[in-house]
A and B are shown apart, each in its own frame.
Chain A
Amino acid sequence: MIELIQQYWQQYLCGTPAHPTGLVITLWLLIASLGLGFLLAVPLAVAKVSTHRWLAIPVAIYTYIVRGTPLYVQLLLVYSGVYSLDAVRSTAFLNSFFRDAFNCTILAFTLNTAAYATEIFAGAIKATPRGEIEAARACGMSGLTLYRCIILPSALRRALPAYSNEVILMLHATTLAATATVPDLLKVARNAASDYYLPFVAYGIAAALYLCISFVLIWLFRLAERRWLAYLR
């Protein structure tokens, strides 16, 4: 057990600058997919609540499909499914993009979290008190200004508790990257477990680290809620 820790502690946490592994990769996957997913989800949520059917229906279909299938299947589809298509392999840009496991993982995670976040944000936008919007209209706001100054700041705050849940679930989901050969925390644990035949210790260390990240995330969101949801307390 001591040997395992001595041998693997660096890989669990950060690896080497040339080959980062473990915790660093897990956090990077989490931040990258959540960041990109958020940027994608906000406009999609606005489109989903739009009265234009041509905007709302495609978004609804997208979230329905993504939320109705396991992330593991989505990851396999992006990682090995898309690359099996001739059209992808013969295009230089797509070929180099989909050949890299890291790109595929980030793409699959982003599309997945964007769908869940879209639903959360769309729900929050729909629950915006009628009076807020009427007041904004009375002040002469419309379209982009209305969304930028009134609806989105209000809706994103109220979406915070549900979104924090999604962030924790996304942390749990990053472990799937290990199945696509990305050297994240779980992948290091798997290597350590098979090297030393100590599954309990190897996976236990990973579990403890994930638990710590979960607690830090929950604490951060509690701070954020105290700051941005102060008016609801």
Chain B
Amino acid sequence: MLFEGYGRLLWNGTLETIQLSLLSLVLAFVLGLLGAAAKLSRNQWISFPATIYTTLIRGVPDLVLMLLLYYSFQDALNRFTDALNLQQIDIDPFFAGICVLGFIYGAYFTETFRGGVLAVPKGQLEAGAAYGLSRWQIFRRILFPQMMRFALPGISNNWQVILKATALVSIIGLHEVVRAAQDAITGTSSKGAYHAFFFLSVAGLIYLLLTSVSHIVFMALEQRYSIGIRKPEL
């Protein structure tokens, strides 16, 4: 057997990596939209907290934030349940992983979307208002499609970063592909030490495959959102 019976484990790990990164992407995307809206708001009570959020999160390493948030929340929850004499509640690592990754990369998405929104000509939005569109309609029909065009390279970049950051959540105890590889290494250590090199390379190749596929998907999306744009011909 090529994978010494650990193929199943690696496959499950890969699925978990994909699920984790997609769900984190959704959360980060939503947080990014909300954050960009808040940061662009003229009301200082709304824009200031959003500025604090993006500055703090982007200035601190993701691994530090991950450990800080995960262990602090668990600690706070334990103190809370102790105080009320309840049974200890353990935070599910998968759920925690999504929340933490989504929260961290939401800050990066905020900046991406803010740049995208600022790149849409103001006259377009005014024209929409002049036609009597509601604010939601303006967002849905005019702002969002054009903002996506400007934000797509940044989104693609952030997605690749999220995908690679899922490797870190094995440190807080998730069974994604890196942890699966490590389990396989522990399981096969008696059969020859070179397995460490082999399984880690396999994990690397799986990531390379995932990033390559997403690269292709984003190229297609970029084409979709640049319909109607004439490319400069050389």
Contacts and interface: CB of A to CB of B under 8 A. Distances in A.
Interface in A34-90: 65, 67-74, 76-77, 80-86
B201 interface: yes
A210 B60 contact: yes
Contact of A73 (B75, B178, B194): B178
Contacts of A171: 61
Given A179-B171, A210-B59, A69 B71 contact: no
Given A70-B207, A72-B167, A199 B56 contact: no
B219 to A, nearest CB: 15
B62 interface: yes
A69 B63 CA distance: 17
Contacts of B74: 199
Contacts of B201: 77, 81
Nearest to A194: B71
B197 interface: yes
Contacts of B63: 172, 175-176, 178, 186
A190 interface: yes
A203 to B, nearest CB: 4
B68 A175 contact: no
Contacts of B71: 193, 199-200, 203
Contacts of A71: 164
A172 B164 CA distance: 14
Contacts of B175: none
B5 interface: no
Contacts of A172: 60-63
A206 interface: yes
Contact of B59 (A70, A80, A198, A215): A215
A73 B65 CA distance: 20
Given A69-B208, A214-B59, A199 B67 contact: yes
Q: Size band of the A side of the interface?
A: 35 or more
A95 B58 CA distance: 38
Interface of B is mostly: helix
B72 A72 contact: no
Interface string B45-75: 0000000000010111111110110011011
Interface string B145-169: 0000000000000000000111110
A69 B177 CA distance: 12
Interface of A is mostly: helix
A211 interface: yes
Contacts of B65: 207
B193 interface: yes
Contacts of B167: 70, 72-73
Contacts of B75: 197-200
A81 B196 CA distance: 5
Contacts of B171: 179
Contacts of A155: none
A104 to B, nearest CB: 13
A200 B64 contact: no
B226 interface: no
Interface string B180-201: 0010010000000111110011
Interface in A199-230: 199-200, 203-204, 206-207, 210-211, 214-215
Contacts of A199: 67-68, 71-72, 74-75
A211 B59 contact: yes
20 contacts: A68-B211, A69-B204, A69-B208, A69-B211, A70-B166, A70-B207, A72-B178, A73-B200, A77-B197, A172-B62, A175-B63, A178-B63, A186-B64, A189-B64, A199-B67, A200-B71, A210-B60, A214-B58, A214-B60, A215-B59
Interface of A: 65, 67-74, 76-77, 80-86, 171-176, 178-179, 186, 189-190, 193, 197-200, 203-204, 206-207, 210-211, 214-215
Interface of B: 56, 58-65, 67-68, 71-72, 74-76, 164-168, 170-171, 178, 182, 185, 193-197, 200-201, 203-204, 207-208, 211-212
Given A70-B207, A186-B61, 18 more contacts: A69-B164, A70-B164, A70-B168, A71-B164, A72-B168, A73-B203, A76-B182, A76-B200, A80-B200, A81-B197, A85-B197, A176-B168, A190-B67, A193-B71, A199-B75, A200-B76, A207-B68, A214-B58
